[in-house]
Structure formats: structure tokens, C-alpha cells
Chains A and B, each alone.
Chain A
Amino acid sequence: MSDQEKTIDPEKERRKIKSVKTMKDIMTHYYIEAKTAEETGKKVAWITSGGPVEPLIAMDVIPVYPENHGAMIGASKMGTDLCEKAEGMGYSGDLCTYALADIACSTVNGGPIGGLPKPDMLVCGNNICGTVLKWYEVQARYYDVPLFILDTPFCHTEFSDEARQYVRRQIDEYLVFLETVCGKKCDHDHLRDVGRLSMEGQRLWQAVLDTTMNKPAPMSAFDAFFHLALIVTLRGTQTVVDYYTGLLEEMKNRVAEGISAVPEERYRLLWDNLPIWFKTRWLSDKFAAHKACLVADTYTSAWCGSLPYLDENNFLESMAEGYSRIYLNIGTDRMAEMVVEMIDKYEVDGLVMHSNRSCKPYSLGQYDIARIVQEKRGLPTLIIEANMTDARSFSESQIDTRIDAFMEVLKG
């Protein structure tokens, strides 16, 4: 006890983000509510991270995110075990490990919170990948509950008029689906308010992320990975708006007081792809030791990327476009343009790409993006091959050496 007191470093304490506790409380409360839904008579929907959540909030359905759960499984280092279990069920170990962990978890109620609450319905948006389609089919068979698929045609070079009409019609079908499963009508005025709150939350989240334009950055991508959970799980609620308002305050104060995420920040890096959940601490310390801060990333900003297409006064109409034109549902060249925009905006010195064996739509094309970044901005890229939840393919000593070598290049 007294030993511990001695090791408290006031400098480190000052650097800690104080909102973390509030965030943990909100998430705990959220999961308790979700897990006791059966007693309170609320319906639970499982939904993909890019799925249209606002109608669920408007219908008072509790949205639950297997992907967020996957992240928790990864962070608590329970991923490998569950993935092995899924392999025992006949699933190839090369599949998305969020899906593998979730599919296995359902059968044993494992993981850090003893499994997710049973769904009353499944809502799958394929704007992030084709994997979620297959994954939700598996769960629809397992739980024997209705499945709604929001099919958002991929935008290689355009979002066509045909696609717009198709997605728009599906938004109506979605509302009918929800009304049928819930046995009540959707209150459109309420939905409009939820839409407004959703956009407000997205704006605030973007503002939080933008505070890292400051030098030094008051937070890092590793912090963003943590604080992201709310914009994913609860967007469209006042809770999110309040929380990010507070977080933004805190970040602004840190900037004013010169508190940085990384002591003596010298190098600024951009992260691409999902986090390596079981190694975030190690990676963060590793880069910090080189005075390098990962100031931004392509992942956490994906939840506000469609703001330009959303219309507060016409939320329902604009959802079709907003949900189709998200980061992973666009062509590789467009993604590269966005990466270059972020490089300029956050004034970074290099790119760190997680080549994620779990996630093909995010990872295939990365080599071309790295090449474009090199051509357009002359910046180097470090590619780390790993897997977001399953530690088996992570080679720590090799990656350690490669980070050192990369930082040597940056230091010139």
C-alpha cells in the first residue's frame, strides 16, 4: 500500500485524463441496463458499428454492439481463447476475430462481462464489410430472431442515384421492421430529435479529436480508442452530448495548461486501421519512449465522417447518404485522399498502419495508400502486421525492432 503511494508520479497524475472515470461509469451503467433488459421489459437489438442506431434509440430499444464487445474481449486479452473455441466449432481462424470471439462467446457466455444480453432482433449494416453480413446470419440462426440488413452499395467512385433510392427505401423498410418487432409505431418527432442529438454528438466528437491539432497534442489516438465507445454505442442520446461536452472542456483546459499526452512530444504520427486491443498500452508506451505521439487515426474519426451528408432538418432523408458514404465504404483512392487530408490537418511526420489480418476491407489497399502518401507528402509508413483481438499472430520482438528502425528514419 505504502509502496504504491511512493510510486505515484505527480507528473503522470497530471497527464491522466480525468473524464475516464465518468466514461467508465456510463459504460458500466449501460451494460447493466442492457443485461437486465429482460426484467425491465426493454427490447435489445444487436447492431453493427456502422449500423443505423438512431431509429433504435427513438423506439426505446437498447442497442448492443458485438464489435464493442469484441474490443473489450481483445483489451482484456480473452480473444485468443475465444477464437480457438470458434475454430473448434469449425470456423476458420483466418476470419474476423470480432466475429469469431462473438460467435464463440454466445455459446458459453464468456468474455469480460459474461456474454452479451440475448438479442430480440439483429440489425446489420454492411457499410463496413461483408463479414458482418455472414456473422449476423450465423447469429440469426443461433438466436432465432429477426434480422434486418441495411444494404449500402459500395461507393468505388460514386454514390449513384440508383443506390440512393435503394438505401432510402430500406430506411422505410427498417422502420416497418422495428415497428413490427416492437409492436408499436415510431414517433417521427422523437426520431428527429434523436437525429439532432446524434449529429450534435458527432460534431462534439470531431471537436474532441480536433484538439490534437494543437502542439503538443492533449490526447493521443490511444485515448481516442477508449473514448470512442460512446459515439459508437449511444449516439443519438443526451448522455453522449453531455459527456463529449465535458471531454472537450477538459481537452481545451489541457491545451491551455500545456498538458500533453506524450511528454516532450517531438514526433507526430497518424494511425491507420483498428487498434491492436491487447497491445494498446505497450504500443503507446513504446512510441512515447521515442517522444512520438499518435495524434490522429482513421478509425475513430469514421464515426463523424458522414456529417457533411447528414441534414439536421431532414435526418431521415439524409440517413441514406450518411450511412453509405462512410470511410470503409468508399474506394481506396478516396481513402488515400482522406489520409492525406488528415496528414495536413494534424501536421504529422509519418504514418503507422496496422495491417490487420482480421479485417480485409480495411487492410487490403493499405500498400497503395502508403505509396500515395509517400508520393504526395514524402512521408514514410510503418506497417505492423497483427490482428486486433487475437494475440497469436503478434510478434512483439519483431515489431519492437521495426518501431525502433522506423523512428530512426524519422529522426533522420
Chain B
Amino acid sequence: MEAMQPFHDIAADPKAYARAWKERTGGKVIGTLCSYAPEELILAAGALGFRIVGGSGAISKADVHLQAYSCSLVRGALEDALDNQLDFLDGAVFPHTCDSIQRLSDIWRMNAKTGFHLDVVLPVKLNTASARDYMTAVMAKARSELGGMLGQTIADDDIRQAIDTYNRIRAKMETLYTLRRDCPGVIAGGDVHAITRAAMVMDRHDFLKGLSKVVDGVSAAAKAFSGPDPKRIFLSGGVCNLPDIYGPIEASGGAVVGDDLCTGSRQMLGAIDDQDDLIEAIGRRYMERAVCPAKHAGIRTRGEELVRRARAAKAQGVIFLYLKFCDPHAFDYPYLKDMLTAEGIPTLLVELEEQTASDGQFQTRCEAFMEML
């Protein structure tokens, strides 16, 4: 599909895109470190939010600051920063999430030259009234601090418009996810990956336009689609920065019908309901959307959510994709697996390191898993 090309181009080299965008528009680019970064505020300020996921090469400069037992996201992101690959950034926003990102923020603030540094110290609990109030206060603080760092005030109207844009993007993504679920194979996993990857770095207005075209095309294709009956796979886990995980899944007869990845549906879905207090509304989405394992919304919330979503997607199997040394996910794995097993849904755990996906071993494991389903 022709409409996909821009997404693949951006996914292949997001940094080049951000640099060109900056040159073209004269706007500011702000790096974000996790899906809890309040992107709506960045957009409202007229800046480009750029999700940093690292992983573009070998680690050397970051090794001076980080032990080898930190995850590849944290090490890769710092490597990019110290290697001046992120010199187009005007600032970086660090939401509080896991222990590793928490320390990365300090190390980054002390060593990286990527403009201003903003810590958004979110609550870790998401299910109490006081945490909700604190979330609102943190969002309000982020709004004024971000504005201050950019030398402007972020107006209500701009926030309203940004919310509107994000709601449209998220609604379209929801449609795309539904199409993929109802008609597996109608869009390749690699395409969805390119779209989500672009969603995190592309001018959000342009992204919405391009996405709408793709979704129209996929809807049309879905009406007449007939293909082999693939094994329905749900992906669960953290950051997936590796496009080549989809190839092996599809080559072994599977198709991804849903995910809860932090670089997937976790960041892409969930509308902001409009209401009087815009800041509270933004905060509320972060409280209520699919929860990250570094946050707490109840002792079984993530398991129940995963089971519900895997069932809704009629998943025949769940593949867990975790980065090595990722604590929050590793703590949840045994109970998530048990809950799925109790539902009769088989699982496969894949611990990703940089080269995992392409080394053939992943392909072999996928094949064995598909045969089992």
C-alpha cells in the first residue's frame, strides 16, 4: 500500500525525520522517555514529541555511566544522547516509571546535552483519590514548567485542540486495531509496527492524515479479504523496538491480533473525555488506560486486563516480549502466565536483547509455539 511508505521511511530513521521537521518548521523537538510523558501538553505547546527508544547501535559511551545489567532501552537511549545523535532535541521529558528510568533521568541530567530537562514525577499508585489529585497537580505543574522552559504559556485553547487531535489519532488507531483483530493478515505486522513507531515521532497532524488514509485502505481491503487462517497471536510486554519480530511470527503461520505493548496499544489507545478541567482530563487518561507494570492499580489489574483483551481478540496464544533486565515486567510474568494458563491460553516468553529477533532462534521458537496451538 502506497500510503504506508511515509511510515516505513520514518520508522527506518526517526531521527532524520525529526531533524528535517525541525529545519522545515523551525519548531522545537522534545524527547520523551516513556508512554506516560504528557504528549498532549507538548503538542499544545506547538512542539514535536519524539519518543526515545535507543537501540541504534553498539553501546560504548553509555557504559561509562551504566552497568551492563541495565536494560537495552536505558543503555541505548543514553548512548544515543552521549553520541550526539539526539542533538536536534530542545529538551527531554522524563516521566517517573521504573527504577532504571528513574536513575537514567539523573544520569542524563548530569551528562547529556539535549536541552532542558523536565522530570514529571507521577504517582506510582493509580487507584486512590489522593493519587488522582496528585496526578492532576503534577500535570498542572508540567504544563507550567514545560511552558516556562519553552518560553511561553500553554493556553487552554491549545490544550483543547491537542486533546482533540490525540483523540482522533487514538480513535483511528482503535479502528486499525479492530480491523487487525477481525481480519488477521489484512495488514502486515511490520506495517502496524511502522505506524506505531511513526506515531511516536511524526508531526501529529500529518500523522493523523496519513493514518486516516491507511485505515481507509485497510477497511476497504478487509471487505474483500480472504487469506489463510493464521494462528491468532497477542503480544504482551514492554518496549518493542524491533520490527523484525513480526516476520518470524508470520512466517510460522501466525498473525498478531492485539497487543498491550508500551510502544503499542498502551500508548495508542484510550480517549480523553472532554470536560471542564482539561488538565484533570489528561491526567485521568493516564490513570485509567492500560496500566504499566511499574505502576500500581490493584494486585490483579494487569492480569485481568490481559485476559480480557486476549479473549476479546480471540487470541490462541500470547507471546510475552520483555527486555532483559526489565524488572517490572519480569515480576508480573509468572502470575500473568498463570492467569492465561487457567483460561487455556498458551504462552511463550521471549527475552529480547538487541539481536534476538533476527538470529533464527526466535523463528524456531515461534514455529514450535504455533504448532502447539
Asked whether any CB of chain B lies closer than 8 Å to the CB of A151, the reply is yes
CB-contacts of A320-378 with B (<8 A)? 331-333, 355, 357, 360-361, 363-368
Whether B355 is near chain A, meaning CB under 8 Å from some CB there, is: no
Category for how many chain A residues contact B: 35 or more
**CB <8 Å contact, A160 and B121:** yes
B311 adjacent to chain A (CB < 8 Å): no
Q: Interface code B121-133, partner A: CB below 8 Å = 1, 0 otherwise?
A: 1111100101101
Decide if B123 touches A361 in the complex (CB within 8 Å): no
Is A23 in contact with chain B by the CB < 8 A criterion? Answer: no
| Contact among B69, B134, B324 for A166, CB-based, below 8 A | B134
**Interchain pairs with CB closer than 8 A, number:** 143
**Contacts A129-B99, A141-B335, A153-B96; is A94 near B325 (CB within 8 Å)?**
yes
Query: B296 contacts which of A149, A160, A173 (Cβ < 8 Å)?
Result: A149
Main secondary structure of the interface of B (DSSP, over half): helix
Tell me, yes or no, whether A89 is within 8 Å of chain B by CB.
yes
Cα A368 to Cα B99 with chains together (Å): 17
**A90, B327: Cα distance in complex, Å:** 13
User: Chain A residues near B119 (CB, 8 Å)?
Assistant: 154, 156-157
Q: Report whether B69 and A94 are in contact in the complex, using a CB–CB cutoff of 8 Å.
A: yes
Q: How far is the CA of A162 from the CA of B337 in the complex (A)?
A: 38
**B56 located at the interface, meaning its Cβ lies under 8 Å from any Cβ of chain A in the complex:** no
Q: Is the CB of A137 within 8 A of B299?
A: yes
Instruction: Enumerate chain A residues within 8 angstroms of B337, measured Cβ to Cβ.
Output: 90
Whether A140 is near chain B, meaning CB under 8 Å from some CB there, is yes
Q: Are B332 and A365 in contact (CB under 8 A)?
A: no
> Inside 8 A of B138's CB, which chain A residues have their CB?
162
User: Separation in Å of the A399 CB from the closest CB of chain B?
Assistant: 16
How many Å lie between the Cα of A138 and that of B330 in the bound state?
Answer: 12
Interface contact B110-A333, CB-CB below 8 Å:
yes
Within 8 A of B (CB), among A114-152: 126, 129-131, 133-135, 137-138, 140-141, 147, 149, 151
Stretch of B37-45, B101-109, B213-221 that contacts chain A: B101-109
List residues of A (145-191) whose CB comes within 8 Å of B's CBs.
147, 149, 151, 153-154, 156-157, 160, 162-163, 165-166, 169-170, 173
Cβ of B110 and Cβ of A163 under 8 Å apart? no
B331: Cβ under 8 A from any A Cβ:
yes
**Hey, which bits of chain A sit against chain B, CB under 8 A?**
89-92, 94-96, 99, 126, 129-131, 133-135, 137-138, 140-141, 147, 149, 151, 153-154, 156-157, 160, 162-163, 165-166, 169-170, 173, 331-333, 355, 357, 360-361, 363-368, 385
The 4 tightest CB contacts between A and B, nearest first, are A134-B331, A90-B334, A364-B103, A332-B106
